[in-house]
Structure 1
Amino acid sequence: MITDIERFESLGDNCEFGFFLRDKGIETSSLFRWTLTHDINNLEYIFSKNFEDLYLFENLEPAWQNMVLDKKYGLSFHTEMYSVNNEGIWEWEFDAEENLKIYSKEKEKIKYFLEKLRRSIMDDKKIFILKSNDNNGYQGALALSTYLEKNGRAKVLYVRSSENPDYSITKINNHLYLANIDRFAPYDRANDYSNEGWTSILTNAINEIN
């Protein structure tokens, strides 16, 4: 069992790390645990805007049967405002009145998770996990660490895939660390993750990130 595993919180880019936490018995949810971040290099912008107007009804569009896209921020969330695929185009299953009823409940949940995230940002023990399967998020992780240096206390651990990982932790600055993992789960099978890789990385991070 990984000690202090609840120090870790996912920032995306998908729900792979969320599945890993679930299998370790951690059910504590968060804003990004089951969210699809379409461009993790955009996270610093989202944070710097203080998530203003996040999940506004007029900014949402169908993205999958049970997912909506927030067009302003490029974030896809699970929803009960279900959609149907009509010749390759996702369309709302319910009318606007029914969607608004569902939305009002979901907006409160988003508000709650956002308040939790703001507390995490100010927690010097919190370690945000950030990854993308294409390994193209370092600049975004660096920008986010710069934001946290000025506006928070949490750290970012950016994880990349590598053919020869040693799972060690490399410090870039006071708010950014790097680690390599043997593989990521495919996007269409996010629960098919590397248990050895994530377990080793988190164990090392607990020991090395103060």
Structure 2
Amino acid sequence: MRLSERLHGFRSLGDNCEFGFVQRYGGVEPSGLLRFSYTPMEDLIRGLRCGFADFGAPGDLRIAVSAGGTYYCHSVAYNIWANTGHPAGSIDPEVLVEREYGRLAHLKRKMLDDLADGSKILVRKLGRDTPDSEFARLAEAVWAHGPSTLLRVTAAGPDWRPEPARRIADRVIAGQVRRFAPTEQAWEVDLEPWIHLVDSAYALAHGQAPTDLGAGAFADALPLPSGLRRHAGRHRTPALSAYTRAVDPADLGTDRAYVFSTWVWIPETFGGERVFAVAGHGRLGWRDADLSRRGCWQRVWAAGRMRPGVDREPVGLGMIGTRQDQFWSFGARFHEGPIPEEGAAPTVRMPPARLPGRRLFGWLRSKLP
């Protein structure tokens, strides 16, 4: 079973839109009443206890504009704020609110059906100060509808390591991610920990083996040079220099997520503004180079979908800097999946920090196969 198929087995219980973006960046777009909603815990519990009886009742919904300039649909009865996905001014608010009444009525019925048959794993994030008694009340309100499994997610902090989810009660699974996305920037997802967590939680709930995310688990979508490569800027003033390969979306399929990853070495003398990976024009998940880390290998990656109706999509690396800036890369891969494979940092020996052009290329030829 592919990771994307496992992601379909989860539904968000709100808090904010972060888990909705996890599913999107993982390559799936399941429907869900609370998928892109801000839902305070007390209001969520109150709504579950009455089956959200007044959610979407006449007069319940209001359209408001967020600080980011997007229309949100607010349920007065339950203080639920749902992101409509429409920029302010792109649609008449009266037309939009009528659409939201119909859409939310459908999603509410579907959610109650899912709760009744217990077919989905329900995801709720908990802050460090959330008491266990509050989650227990949430579980009680959920189980009044049916035998759903809950995934209790907490933030481990920068020391996070990929550990499997664990069962802490008959229908409760617990796990951790490194950090939560900011409340107002829920799209800034730290995707790798989330993918590890939902994969292991799904495997635990269904008695299956976790997906192999190690080296060699994914077939390459196309061959790429994997040896040591030097990348230098091409402009007098700071600008984008691209080190990409054009791929044909028709050869890959536009319904899957693909990821490009490579190791990069940022020299101490680097003065550029950014080093990043590219996997198509629309990125789903990513990790840019941390420019505070110099003289060591670090992995950068980007995942994306191939767009239908275009001839070529870029795959590779980009840098914002000048012709005075350079960096190195090693071990490039492009394969299906929402996150890169696991692997140890390269052990390849790096060239001296400052080496004239002819001697540098001679050094490279002597080291590469």
Classify the TM-score, shorter chain. 0.7 to 0.9
Letter in 1 for 2:145: N
Q: 2:16 aligns with which of 14, 29, 35?
A: 14
1:56 offset after TM fit, Å? Answer: 3.5
Change (3 A) 1:83 1:137: farther
Change (3 A) 1:126 1:17: same
User: 1:24: which partner in 2?
Assistant: 26
Letter in 2 for 1:168: P
SS in 1 for 2:184: helix
Alignment root-mean-square deviation, CA: 2.7
Give, in whole Å, the separation in 2 of the partners of 1:54 and 1:195.
31
Letter in 1 for 2:121: I
Q: Judge conservation of contact 2:56–2:105 (CA < 8 Å) in 1.
A: no
Q: List alignment gaps of at least 5 residues for structure 1.
A: 85-92
Q: 1:178 aligns with which of 163, 174, 180?
A: 174
SS in 2 for 1:191: coil
Letter in 2 for 1:172: I
Q: Judge conservation of contact 2:121–2:148 (CA < 8 Å) in 1.
A: yes
Letter in 1 for 2:52: F
User: 2:77: which partner in 1?
Assistant: 72
Give, in whole Å, the separation in 1 of the partners of 2:160 and 2:42.
23
Give, in whole Å, the separation in 2 of the partners of 1:182 and 1:80.
27
SS in 2 for 1:152: coil
Give yes or no for the alignment of 1:154 onto 2:148. Answer: yes
**Any idea what the Cα deviations from partners look like across 1:42-84, whole Å, max 9, x if unmatched?**
3222111111110345334436241132222110023489879
Q: Judge conservation of contact 2:112–2:145 (CA < 8 Å) in 1.
A: no
Letter in 2 for 1:118: L
* Equivalent residue runs for 1:45-124 within 5 Å: 45-61=46-62, 62=64, 64=66, 65-79=70-84, 99=94, 101-124=95-118
**Any idea what the Cα deviations from partners look like across 1:103-130, whole Å, max 9, x if unmatched?**
3322110011111101211233310111
Computing the radius of gyration from Cα coordinates, the structure with the larger value is 2
User: 1:200: which partner in 2?
Assistant: 196
SS in 2 for 1:66: strand
User: 2:183: which partner in 1?
Assistant: 187
* Equivalent residue runs for 1:129-168 within 5 Å: 129-132=123-126, 136=130, 138-163=132-157, 164-166=159-161, 167-168=163-164
Give, in whole Å, the separation in 2 of the partners of 1:107 and 1:128.
24
**Any idea what the Cα deviations from partners look like across 1:104-159, whole Å, max 9, x if unmatched?**
32211001111110121123331011115566374443222223334212111010
Give, in whole Å, the separation in 2 of the partners of 1:147 and 1:188.
27
Letter in 2 for 1:199: I
Letter in 2 for 1:122: A
**Any idea what the Cα deviations from partners look like across 1:18-44, whole Å, max 9, x if unmatched?**
11111222112211111111x124322
Moved more, 21-30 or 141-150: 141-150
Question: Normalized per residue, which structure has more strand?
Answer: 2
SS in 1 for 2:98: helix
TM (normalized to structure 1)? 0.80
Give, in whole Å, the separation in 2 of the partners of 1:43 and 1:22.
23
Letter in 2 for 1:202: V
Moved more, 64-73 or 47-56: 64-73
Per chain length, whose mean CA-contact separation is higher, i.e. which structure has more relative contact order (CA < 8 Å, sep 6+)? 1
Q: Judge conservation of contact 1:80–1:102 (CA < 8 Å) in 2.
A: no
SS in 2 for 1:52: coil
Letter in 2 for 1:52: A
SS in 2 for 1:33: coil
How many percent identity over aligned positions?
22
TM (normalized to structure 2)? 0.48
Change (3 A) 1:32 1:138: farther
Moved more, 177-186 or 142-151: 142-151
